[in-house]
Structure 1
């Protein structure tokens, strides 16, 4: 694609993703996961105890760190944080970059202009890509890191220059900063680099050096993040050991998960494969064909997307089968770029209008209607149904609106600094929506344990308790209490209780 055409295409993609972001924001459908990423960044600057460690250690920091430079703009445009506008705008930009890097990989793989444009469109217009470009969750950030890793590995496999391994390692390290699933490519890619380097040079020392260059940034990211977590919060891997982490959440919801996905191995396999192949129906066929063609051409570049995206998929599948994952549909989103890049390797050097070209493009493009069918099934698309079904959207919108009502009502009380004790793992939406965030004593605050032990002695006047937070530290310490004020959602369900300190 000529430079001007490429710019026009990416501008169109950016516009589409911007519209998706504005749709989520304007309809009050910014997911709680997205708002919590803003909140983690927000606490480091605007809480009553601003410090960098307030970003938290349960979830990976990169999606929140990216937001930090833009947070001061919320002083001029409060909707950026109070209503989640910032996080959806950033995810739209990041996903646009995913498409741009994907196009570059296809170009480097030798795909002609017309099929390259069609494959880029297949990636950009895939419903899961559009959704997660617009909703502010961590998928866009994670996919960008993985795509950059694939690009660097593709260059190294093609050219063999060791300097290409530096951006590869950095991309893998950043990927771990975005999501824990990056542990898989952090482990798998250096093994591939070692084997390919040894095969090329027949020198074990050179192969070890290449593998270390590729591995070091990712290993350091894992070790340093774990060390910082241990020193600050006393846990090596908080997502697995914290009461707020993924493991605790999955355990608390195990019955509900099993009722949908099935409890035994065969049922879980069937459920996971329905999700995966709903998003990319011909993934296995594309994989086998691409590997066969790569072997015939003696072209190892196809191993780049397989090692990076394939290892992530394997990690997610194993986590789900072992009962340590919710089994969300988005955990299979890596199949989308993987299928497109595999198709690119099949079409590398192919002439337009050939039967192979038509068949491969059809195998990729059919993912668009197939994904729409999958997304229309709430049993498979459990998270997505909370945005795209009438009942689900009402629940999501209702939670955002009740959080803003709580914040507005507390603001009207004119409370002083540190007057309300609450658990930010649940109250992040209230804290973000408030014009007076200093009124809250929240879990990231360094004096939170002391205030929890003796609220009155620390000037706390009220406890703000979540009605459904099983790990709510304040609720666990004091019980439900007798509320001075309660807030319900539009369905009449109790969400928050304000309990005065007697």
Structure 2
């Protein structure tokens, strides 16, 4: 009877309700930050003109779903994960949000605000009172990485909110053992790979943690019932994890003819990696990569590292596979990136580590839940711990800023931060020049004539012109044929220099010497200004022959 009473008491401690008053306070705070994030995004885009190529490329793809040569969903492409572009579709239907470039900002701001609410729910589920909840959410909202990706429109904001949703429902499943929570968690874990492909490692980790919870709740079951119980939960959870990526592979197979087209195509991340590694001058020896990734992970958010250590020790002490595994979740981020870089399948960008911050905070909140009962027996024990956590949180936010601005491989995230706070070069000159080039083309190209352009570098040109009918792009069913034989399809051809990422432009891949040497079937139209990407406009000598120039 004593054991049964203790078990019921433990279950009651786990089933902590999320109070309405707490949620309302966090909701008010989140609403205020939504306004602030959108205002900062407006400042970043309109005042500072600090665009990111990631957000503009997705915005163009979403816009061309409606405005391309044919209205079709496949315009989003089959190389990069689909969810970051799909969520832009409702906003891309409004021209004002497209040409103001605010659509990605609105999406990222909403995602980070939802992340704040999820942190509030998780803090409540872990036993923090109203005041501590609001303080934790506030410090989360002002973390430099959260501010940065809330206002620059990049897809990291989606990754944060989906990851936190998966973890929140997983924690609630552990606390209550209710299958509904497990299914919600499985749904969000399953969608993570369609935001960033390597997140499938987190999805598999989620499966392992569900098995750990099920194991802990089936100790006294007969063997046959235990097998059925574990099999049922594993099938239910794993089907939700696998199904989204299965659908994506099916779409690739039916439309592109290859179920793993998104991994093997010439434009995929693995295919362009050698170009990015060369341009970034990355040292790929084991020690250098290890020091870069694990050193940055340790320094960027020490609160998360402490949470990992505490929860792993708590899990070992309680002999809980779930708590031990949950504590190790933030470590998956640098480990995954380390393995990918060692296999020359990724570039160690700082933004690829940013998920360790929200994961580390979630782990610390769960650790606090299990430390509170012991500390309540000590005078000032619980307030002392929480005060220490808040001070460490503020220090961690400062170290996040330091790591962001000193990381040795600067990229779009650093430019966005400099656009917000100053201190370095923040404008992507090639993008601004491409916008201006698009506006000029409206006055250069005669009515009824079309320009062939590859969207790998030309998305800003298309957005700048604001007239997709001026271009033949990948939305046209004859695009591939036009690339191989431009004289049969188009009047002009716009091409950048053939180096670094511009080498990935489909025109440079098919006609690698056209930019520098020209060709018998084109004439240079020398009316464009000098640009960073050295754009050239060629008039095509038209032909009615359907024969390809490429044999």
Query: Normalising by structure 1, what TM-score?
Result: 0.91
Report the CA distance between 1:59 and its aligned residue: 0.6
The answer as to 2:367 corresponding to 1:337 is: no
Larger Rg: 2
Tell me if structure 1 keeps the 8 A contact 2:315–2:323: yes
The answer as to 2:243 corresponding to 1:211 is: no
Q: Which residue of 2 aligns with 1:475?
A: 508
What SS is found at the alignment partner of 2:284? Answer: coil
Report the CA distance between 1:305 and its aligned residue: 5.2
In 1: Cα distance, 2:275 partner to 2:39 partner: 36
Q: How does 1:218-229 map to 2 (within 5 A)?
A: 218-229=241-252
Tell me if structure 2 keeps the 8 A contact 1:43–1:444: yes
Give the counterpart of 2:169 among 148, 152, 156: 152
Report the CA distance between 1:390 and its aligned residue: 6.1
What SS is found at the alignment partner of 1:376? Answer: helix
The answer as to 2:525 corresponding to 1:484 is: yes
Q: Which residue of 1 aligns with 2:284?
A: 263
Q: Which residue of 2 aligns with 1:451?
A: 482
What SS is found at the alignment partner of 2:452? Answer: strand
Q: Residue by residue, what CA displacement relative to the aligned partner does 1:243-278 show, whole Å, maximum 9, x if unpaired?
A: 211112211132333x3x422100111111232223
The answer as to 2:35 corresponding to 1:15 is: yes
Q: How does 1:99-498 map to 2 (within 5 A)?
A: 99-202=116-219, 203-257=226-280, 259=281, 261-296=282-317, 302=323, 306=327, 309-348=330-369, 349=372, 354-377=383-406, 379-387=408-416, 388=418, 392-394=425-427, 396=428, 398-413=429-444, 415-416=446-447, 419-458=450-489, 460-467=490-497, 468=499, 469-478=502-511, 479-480=514-515, 481=518, 483-485=524-526, 487=528, 493-498=532-537
In 2: Cα distance, 1:102 partner to 1:157 partner: 17
Q: Which residue of 1 aligns with 2:17?
A: none
In 2: Cα distance, 1:194 partner to 1:99 partner: 28
Report the CA distance between 1:441 and its aligned residue: 1.2
Give the count of matched residue pairs.
Answer: 491
Q: Which runs of 5+ in 1 are unaligned?
A: none
In 1: Cα distance, 2:384 partner to 2:164 partner: 29
Change in Cα spacing, 1:381 to 1:426, as seen in structure 2 (3 Å) is: closer
Q: Which runs of 5+ in 2 are unaligned?
A: 1-20, 220-225, 542-551
Root-mean-square deviation (CA, aligned residues, Å) is 2.4
Change in Cα spacing, 1:143 to 1:313, as seen in structure 2 (3 Å) is: farther
The answer as to 2:34 corresponding to 1:2 is: no
In 2: Cα distance, 1:457 partner to 1:342 partner: 60
Report the CA distance between 1:414 and its aligned residue: 5.2
Change in Cα spacing, 1:145 to 1:488, as seen in structure 2 (3 Å) is: farther
In 1: Cα distance, 2:246 partner to 2:480 partner: 27
